[in-house]
Structure 1
Amino acid sequence: MLNKNISILLIDDNDITREVLRVVLRNEGYTVAGEATDGGSGLDLALKLRPDVIMLDVVMPKVSGLDVLPKIKDMLPDTRILLVTGSHDKEILSEAVKSGIHGIILKPFNAQKIIDTVAGVAAKIKK
């Protein structure tokens, strides 16, 4: 399958969200390289794994997705970042877009939305 070389890091504090993402992505042939439950540990794992794509939640304990987003962009400029959020707050979404995210998946989501959004970003990754 075409997606085998794309590695993805999941950063979300919700176990069920991570599990759904993991199952859907693996079924599509992507490699889920790692998972983290907050922005701080997510940044550490991102620097270690250097994934092609990071799926990043906004609201998390300790360090939020918006707090860690600029650091990820600065340290891993080639990594594509997809925001995964239940927030429909236009200000938060606007801030994320200005920070350079590559897409948004709004919760609640379905498998097809995940597949389509990740495929659109993965198609632009040069391997």
Structure 2
Amino acid sequence: MCVDDQYGIRVLLKEILKCDYEVMAVETGEEAIENVLKFEPQVVILDMKLEKMKGTDLLRLIKQINGNIGTIMLTGYQDCDLIEEIKQSNPEKIIIKPFEVEQLKSSVRELSSKYKVI
């Protein structure tokens, strides 16, 4: 699952991953929570800055719902305090935008094999 409030990023992530994975892209934290409950994704890629919710808050909620989901936090910000906040929310991966496609694919591949659907 990809969570980003920017349409272009959602389309890009879906396009990058659709050959290898079933990809759901959602715009809001609320949609993400609803779909985590329904579909139990293996990996969630989420943006730090969402419209009504910080990515770190969403990440914590996702982990409370299901600790067996791999998480990748995307951020376009390189501020040290923000990166520290992200690290404290314990995503498995942090990827800085603009990102390398292979870095993203490799991270998703690693986490999807670690967090296999049971």
TM-score (structure 2 length as normaliser): 0.89
Runs of 4+ in 1 over 6 A off after TM superposition: none
Q: Are residues 1:121 and 2:115 paired?
A: no
User: Which residue, 65, 83, 103 being the options, matches 1:75?
Assistant: 65
What whole-Å deviation, never above 9, does each CA across 1:38-75 have from its counterpart, x for those lacking one? Answer: 21221122111110000010101112212212111111
User: Residues 71-108 of structure 1: CA distance to partner in whole angstroms, max 9, x if unpaired?
Assistant: 11111110111001111122222222222211012111
CA distance in 1 between partners of 2:82 and 2:28 (Å): 18
Q: Is the 8 A contact 2:47 2:74 kept in 1?
A: yes
Gaps of 5+ in 1: 1-8
Matching residue within 58, 63, 66 for 2:48: 58
SS in 2 for 1:71: helix
**Could you tell me how far apart the structure 1 residues matched to 2:30 and 2:60 are?**
12
> Greater strand share, 1 or 2?
1
What CA RMSD, in Å, does the superposition of the two structures yield over aligned residues?
1.4
Q: Distance in 1 between matches of 2:50 and 2:4?
A: 7
Partner Cα distance (1:126, 1:38) in 2: 25
- CA distance in structure 1 between the partners assigned to 2:96 and 2:31 by the alignment: 23
Structure 2: gaps (5+ residues): none
**Could you tell me how far apart the structure 2 residues matched to 1:107 and 1:95 are?**
17
Q: CA deviation at 1:22?
A: 0.6
